[in-house]
Amino acid sequence: MFENLGPLWPQICKATWETVYMTLVSVLFATVIGLPMGVILVLTDRGHILESRLVNTVLGWFVNIGRSFPFIILMVAIIPFTRLVVGTFIGTTGAIPPLVVAAAPFVARMVETSLKEVDWGVIEAALSVGASAWQVVYKVLLPEALPGLVLGTTITTINVLGYTAMAGVVGGGGLGDLAVRYGFQRYMPDVMVVTVIILIVMVQVLQSLGDWLARKVNRR
Amino acid sequence: MITIENLTKIYNTPGGKIRAIDNLTLHVEKGQTFGVIGLSGAGKSSLVRCINMLEKPTAGKIFVDGQEITALRGPQLRAARRKIGMIFQHFNLLSSRTAFGNVAFPLEIAGVPKEKIKAKVTQLLEVVGLADKAHAYPAQLSGGQQQRVGIARALANDPKVLLCDEPTSALDPHTTRSILTLLKDINRSLGLTILLITHEMRVITEICDMVAVIEDGRIIEQGPVVEVFMHPRAATTRNFVSTVMNVEVPEAVQRRLATREDGERTQLLRLKFLGEAATRPAISSVVRECGVAINILAGNIDCLQDTPFGVLIVELIGDPPERRRALARLAATGLSIEVIEDV
Ligand SMILES: Nc1ncnc2c1ncn2[C@@H]1O[C@H](COP(=O)(O)OP(=O)(O)OP(=O)(O)O)[C@@H](O)[C@H]1O
Ligand SMILES: [Mg+2]
């Protein structure tokens, strides 16, 4: 029953690497973009230290629009943008911009939720000793919310991992693409089974790693 | 050290405007421990939070150490805040930092170099008696220990003023006492001016020199604690005083007095004595010299910091002329006397 695995093994390895690569690079860039957006969403909220109705509303809308696009449509819709940024819209690299664009708003909301969990009293204590907005962010909000941020990043990573399966549409490769092309279109159930098992293992490892790390940084 | 002029704070809420502080004026001298007492919602927190601009006043001016805090913005305000320490009811420590890290926090904010931070934090933790807990996280500390860390943090930048928003309301009576003692020690040794707000009279009598009673955002009574304690005027003040000095006629005594027949010959008195008078055997000498009998029915003796303070409810027995003489004698010894009419 596993007769296809032998000859296809190099492809499976390559696809696994492509999935890992797409996921990690996308999460990295999504965090670089989404984290500041989340922080700004919190700081400009009503009653917060940099309250701004305008910034909060505009950014909120922007994030919501990003989140409401189905990934498969988003991927096609931003092809010109993808081309502009990475020079191509196909291949593993071409899959990364749409993944980042899809994940960044998710990261922004995740960061927003985590930071809002921080007790307002602690922020006031920091303000009362003369902390600036920037000091409040990097000395209070981010360290205090770290366990939540770790768990949120874990969820983001697992979500992006799921999205990469669709990246096959733009020739991005990866495990999902392999499963569709060989497992489904050429009817090789063993390839299908193996890719699914690899994905399950990845998700399990990510979640355990996230849980462990969140526990480690939690001082409550 | 702290001067508040015509302070008004109005909150705009969906339900309408709430006038939390209403044209309030207050002055706190350097080195004083000034207590503000009031019921829930009186505006106590709003008041202290305006002093370091955690809450922006709607109108009025606040001066701390001669500087008009209410006129400051941005970096100037942040610099001024470093000289105004604050401790909170729920401690508000950073859970991600150890006791050491929490005390170091204000110093990091102020840009103090690392070696200096270490020396300063070590010294402060010693002052609050937590040298051995430097590496414990807040979750591993008791409430009292957390408040000690909060106090050390508030003192880190050598402030001139310490604001305390119900610092002991989350603590048990024993821990409350130890925290108050610590605050008093700091007040004396550093000459720090303390403004403390509370809803417990016990806290006021324990450490404050001056007290102001706040109601509906206004100060209804203020003065030296001893003075306000001896002669409370407003009803709210009387209630607060009675929470630490319950001087009502016990019910059993009331029943006995209601059913007795020689009511004509007795009078119920409430005697208050302070300091010297408490130590003088006033009552026994009056009994000896005036031919009356005095029956002590209820009483309470306490200390206003170092001054003994007491209230006695006594029954004065004798004929009217002797009783009058006895009353005059008692008054002459410095006791405050109140005749209780209806028993
Ligand atoms: N941020 C706020 N927004 C709207 N109303 C507020 C706010 N803070 C306080 N108030 C209102 O202002 C009034 C005074 O509140 P404040 O917290 O100063 O009272 P307090 O004396 O500290 O009471 P407590 O003993 O319960 O802490 C109350 O009616 C309260 O509901
Ligand atoms: Mg309050």
Cα(B44) to ligand 2 centroid in Å equals 6
For helices A53-68 and A5-43, angle between their N-to-C axes, nearest 10 degrees:
160
Q: Are residues B71 and B192 in the same domain?
A: yes
Mean of per-residue pLDDT scores for chain B: 88
Mutate to test the pocket of ligand 1, among B8, B21, B37, B45 (most ligand atoms within 8 A of CB): B45
C-alpha dihedral sign at B282, B285, B289, B292: positive
Q: Are residues B183 and B288 in the same domain?
A: no
First vs last C-alpha separation in chain A: 51
Q: Are residues B18 and B165 in the same domain?
A: yes
Give the CA distances from residue A216 to residues A155, B100, B212, in Å, rounded to whole numbers and listed in that order: 17, 19, 48
Please name the residue of chain B whose CA is at the shortest distance from the CA of residue A134.
B109
The pLDDT tens digits of the residues spanning A58-96 come to: 999 999 998 888 888 888 888 899 889 888 888 888 889
Q: Please report the pLDDT score of residue B316 as a whole number.
A: 85
Q: Please report the pLDDT score of residue A10 as a whole number.
A: 87
The atom number, within ligand 1, closest to the CA of B44 reads 21
- Taking contacts as CB-CB distances below 8 angstroms, the residues of chain B near A144 are 94-96
Final residue of a structural domain among B178, B209, B244: B244
C-alpha dihedral sign at A18, A24, A29, A35: positive
Q: Are residues B224 and B277 in the same domain?
A: no
Contact B64, B2 (CB under 8 A): yes
Retrieve residue B32's tokens: 């004083």
The CA distance from B250 to B298, in Å, is 7
Task: Supply the CATH number for residue B324's domain.
Answer: 3.30.70.260
**In chain A, where the domains are located:** 22-172
Say whether pLDDT at B305 is over 70.
Answer: yes
The CA distance from A103 to A97, in Å, is 10
What is the nearest CA distance from B280 to chain A, expressed in angstroms?
Answer: 49
User: Measured between CB atoms, which of B82, B93, B97 is closest to A130?
Assistant: B82
Rounded to an integer, the average pLDDT of B330-338 is 79
Give the burial class of B162: count Cβ atoms within 10 A of its Cβ; 0-12 exposed, 13-18 middle, 19 or more buried.
Answer: buried
Mark the residues whose beta carbon lies below 5 A from ion ligand 2.
B 45
The CA distance from A82 to A170, in Å, is 11
Rounded to an integer, the average pLDDT of A25-30 is 96
The pLDDT confidence band at residue B140, using thresholds 50, 70 and 90, is very high
DSSP secondary structure code for residue A90 in this structure: S
Cα(B18) to ligand 1 centroid in Å equals 9
For A22-172, CATH gives 1.10.3720.10
Rounded percentage of chain B residues whose pLDDT exceeds 90? 62
Cα(B11) to ligand 2 centroid in Å equals 15
Nearest CA to ligand 1 atom 26: B40
Rounded to an integer, the average pLDDT of A176-189 is 83
Q: Please report the pLDDT score of residue B263 as a whole number.
A: 58
Retrieve residue A109's tokens: 């909301």
Who has greater pLDDT, B223 or B308? B223
Nearest CA to ligand 1 atom 3: B11
Say whether pLDDT at B221 is over 80.
Answer: yes
Q: Please report the pLDDT score of residue B336 as a whole number.
A: 78
The CA distance from B61 to B77, in Å, is 14
Say yes or no for a CB contact (<8 Å) between B96 and A119: no
Say whether pLDDT at A207 is over 70.
Answer: yes
- Taking contacts as CB-CB distances below 8 angstroms, the residues of chain A near B78 are 130-132
The pLDDT tens digits of the residues spanning B229-267 come to: 888 888 889 888 888 776 677 777 777 777 766 556 778
What is the nearest CA distance from B75 to chain A, expressed in angstroms?
Answer: 8
The pLDDT tens digits of the residues spanning B1-29 come to: 999 999 999 999 899 999 999 999 999 99
The pLDDT tens digits of the residues spanning B53-100 come to: 999 999 999 999 999 999 998 899 999 999 999 999 999 999 999 999
Q: Are residues B257 and B198 in the same domain?
A: no
Cα(B40) to ligand 1 centroid in Å equals 8
Q: Please report the pLDDT score of residue A192 as a whole number.
A: 86
Give the burial class of A216: count Cβ atoms within 10 A of its Cβ; 0-12 exposed, 13-18 middle, 19 or more buried.
Answer: exposed
Q: Are residues B179 and B206 in the same domain?
A: yes
